[in-house]
Structure 1
């Protein structure tokens, strides 16, 4: 495929040009040349952008993602970080299941008042206890602007 200019990379990847310029500024990607004022990228930038998006979706910061690439730009992902992130996601899934069950119960509970319902009180207590004993990891929140900060 050869080289692509910044517009083609943006179109093919769905990443806005401003974000591509920011990623280049912080060292996540590299342009290989310029054609006039337009940055030119090697075709492998699309794979790298996919890896960056995967990392962001998993809840890694751009700084953490940047450290997952070696000096040569190739992925060098510490497996222990992936295990830790997978564990965080597992805990979040458990929390979300408890929340889902509480919401469904509230929506379907025939009690005149939810506070009179013993099941609702039990679910409420479980939700509160989980929040107090487990600090929020931030996974799933959108970080920063379109740049993915």
Structure 2
């Protein structure tokens, strides 16, 4: 079994410092540290305890940022990355496969956003204190029967 967290000794230019990764990817150093803690990316430590990332992390970060931008939760992104053989960096084929899996969820999100956009003038948000004119989530003030205050955001 291959340990995808271990890196062989690098060739010159094969690895990047955390600052170089941040600069090249446009991702803040703090976000890189967070992604690493969450298991989305991996680095090795030099004898001086500095992080070194393989260049492939740039493609992996692009994958993460694109998926986040369309609303895929980090847990699903991690699961998708973990499903790749040997923890490899996603290829074009990997992205096509994963995006096909996420298509139904994204289509549903698009539909809800379009509905919100189209009905936004009369809406002040989900759980809108059971306003009687909310046609999105509370037509005819049906949530008022459940009590006062926001109903959909409770819990």
**1-structure distance, mates of 2:22, 2:41:** 13
Contact 2:45 2:52 in 1 (8 A): yes
RMSD: 2.6
Instruction: Give unmatched runs, 5+ long, in structure 2.
Output: 1-12, 123-131, 140-151
Comparing both chains, which one has the higher relative contact order based on Cα–Cα distances under 8 Å and sequence gaps of 6 or more?
Answer: 1
Check if 1:12 corresponds to 2:24. Answer: yes
Match of 1:86 among 94, 97, 107: 107
Query: Structure 2 length as normaliser, TM-score?
Result: 0.59
> 2:87 matched to which residue of 1?
73
The number of residue pairs the alignment matches comes to 110
Contact 1:68 1:78 in 2 (8 A): no
Instruction: Please give the secondary structure, in 1, of the residue aligned with 2:87.
Output: coil
Which has the larger helix fraction? 1
Query: Structure 1 length as normaliser, TM-score?
Result: 0.61
Contact 2:70 2:106 in 1 (8 A): yes
Instruction: Please give the secondary structure, in 2, of the residue aligned with 1:130.
Output: coil
Q: 1:83 to 1:58 in 2, by over 3 A?
A: same
**2-structure distance, mates of 1:35, 1:11:** 23
Instruction: Please give the secondary structure, in 1, of the residue aligned with 2:53.
Output: strand
